[in-house]
Amino acid sequence: MKIKKKYQGIFFIICAAFFFSLMTFFVRLAGDVPTFQKSFFRNIVAAVFAVSILARSEEKFKVLSTSWISLFLRAGFGTAALIANFYAVDHMNLADANILNKLSPFFAILMSRVILKEKPSKQDLITVFIAFAGAVLVAKPTGNMGILPAALGIFGGFGAGVAYTFVRKMGMQGERGAVIVAFFSVFSTLVTLPSLLFDYHPMTMNQLLCLVFAGFAGMGGQFSITKAYTKAPAKEISVYDYTQVLFAAMLGLVFFDQVPDVYSLTGYIIIIGAAIFRTLRLS
């Protein structure tokens, strides 16, 4: 049963990587829309659907008494990470922003040690480091990222890692995934709403559609990542989060005619190799 849950966690985290790569793709396509405005539309879609799911469920909006603190911490760190990541995407080379966001598995493993007392083995850390090295080869950071965007990109990775750790904690306590997603989405929507009301920038229909699609993709990512971290510890599945880099590369090839070079191809091999090695260790 434990092994089965690990593989379920792997499946869902790969699904999350796919959806989040789509989200980043549509956010970038939306163009020069303010970061908070992008964040609002990304969250409002997930909020509506998650609340609807809860309303139709048998337990409705019931929340475990042990979850409230973790819900607020997950939502707070997750919202800050989302805004920071969107700012980095808008003000940096897309590859640079993505690689900084991929620091989240490192932080998830470290914070799992602090929050959940889940001690990673040396092999766990080595596997994640190898996958990260592969992601660096794929992204090829330019080195001229700028202090503020880079700092926010790093913070985005940290905030996401902390948020996923609290997702794991609530899953272990028996909290429903829909509750976690709904709380985060509503929280983030309310946080970004004032900026939308007082500093709204008119959008074209294409920009609006891109943000709506980003919202749907983000919703799929949130449900998948929540399911993943309620199934297995971060140290056992976080390496598969790097498949987002592969999905992003495929989107770039199909829609922007971006052909991967030898460094990218080497990175793909390293990432897939790390995932295979991790799978063999679990079997």
**pLDDT tens by residue, 225-242:** 888 877 887 777 877 888
Q: What pLDDT is attached to residue 14?
A: 93
Structural domain count of the chain: 1
Q: 72-92, pLDDT tens digit by residue?
A: 999 999 999 999 988 887 777
DSSP state letters, the chain: -HHHHHHHHHHHHHHHHHHHHHHHHHHHHT-S--HHHHHHHHHHHHHHHHHHHHHHSSSTT---TTTHHHHHHHHHHHHHHHHHHHHHHHHS-HHHHHHHHTTHHHHHHHHHHHHT--PPPHHHHHHHHHHHHHHHHHH---S---HHHHHHHHHHHHHHHHHHHHHHHHHHHT--HHHHHHHHHHHHHHHHHHHHHHS-----HHHHHHHHHHHHHHHHHHHHHHHHHHHS-HHHHGGGGGHHHHHHHHHHHHHH-----HHHHHHHHHHHHHHHHHHHHH-
Q: 152-193, pLDDT tens digit by residue?
A: 888 998 999 899 889 889 988 889 888 998 999 999 999 999
Mean pLDDT of the 130-159 span: 78
Q: What percent of the chain has pLDDT over 90?
A: 22
Residue ranges making up the domain that contains 226: 2-282
Q: What pLDDT is attached to residue 27?
A: 87
Q: What percent of the chain has pLDDT over 70?
A: 92
